[in-house]
Amino acid sequence: MEWIIGGNHMLISLENIYKIYKRGDTAVHALDGVTLQIENGEFVAIVGPSGSGKSTMMNILGCLDTPSDGTYIFEDKDISKLNDDQLAVIRNRHIGFVFQSFNLLPKLDAVENVELPLTYAGKKGPARRDRAVEMLNAVGLGNRIHHKPSELSGGQQQRVAIARALSTDPPIILADEPTGNLDTKSGREIMEILKELHLSGKTIILITHDISVANQAERNVHIQDGKIVNDVKVVG
């Protein structure tokens, strides 16, 4: 399942996506007929308040979950029909995840955390370590490679998480509230890194409740009550 990704073409297409959760006898429509297209190389923010459905959207876009109904096409492949193992291949090869809570393993130092996706991808020792160090240098943490998460600030931990996301060179970075646990200065620095990654050719999908963060993307997709209510290009 080797897919070549490049050029300005449709990368992601969601068509009439529903995600329904059962709570007792009640059906909760977390996503309610969502249709969305994202082109290769775009920087898109999916923005909405808590409970709007944006986290469910992230899980579906990131192949962490599948829709109850509707079609998800990724590079001309119908994601909604793939099994768990096939979804794992897509996640590992094509999507780099950056989470609000960093999701670093506390007992591993920075370079070991960055090596994890490379280990899963079957990359061997010396080449794996070289790549992890290269990515930590790229996010400005070359002098912190042997520090554990508890020895790093929140902003530094998020840089490690970005280095980990980049380690396998995925075409898509999916960032879920990446500045949510950071102070203003650190949050600004993380957004600058994401902008640089976009300029280098990565497709960036940013999930946020913060409109000031969302406005740093090229395009804002506003979601409320499981529906897209606005989809606009950001000016300026």
Two tokens at 11? Answer: 């990368």
pLDDT at position 140: 93
| Of the candidates 70, 45, 66, 88, the residue with the CA atom closest to the CA atom of residue 218 | 45
Cβ-contact 70, 15 below 8 angstroms: yes
Where does residue 215 rank: exposed (0-12), middle (13-18), buried (19+ CB within 10 A)? middle
Give the closest residue to 81 by CA, choosing from 92, 89, 73, 91. 73
pLDDT digit string (tens) for 175-209? 999 999 899 999 999 999 999 999 999 999 999 99
The predicted structure's pLDDT at residue 168? 92
Please indicate, yes or no, whether the overall pTM of this predicted structure exceeds 0.95. no
Position 7 pLDDT exceeds 50: no
CATH architecture, range 10-233: 3-Layer(aba) Sandwich (3.40)
* Cα–Cα distances in angstroms (integers) from residue 66 to residues 49, 70, 71, 117, 214, in the given order: 22, 10, 10, 22, 25
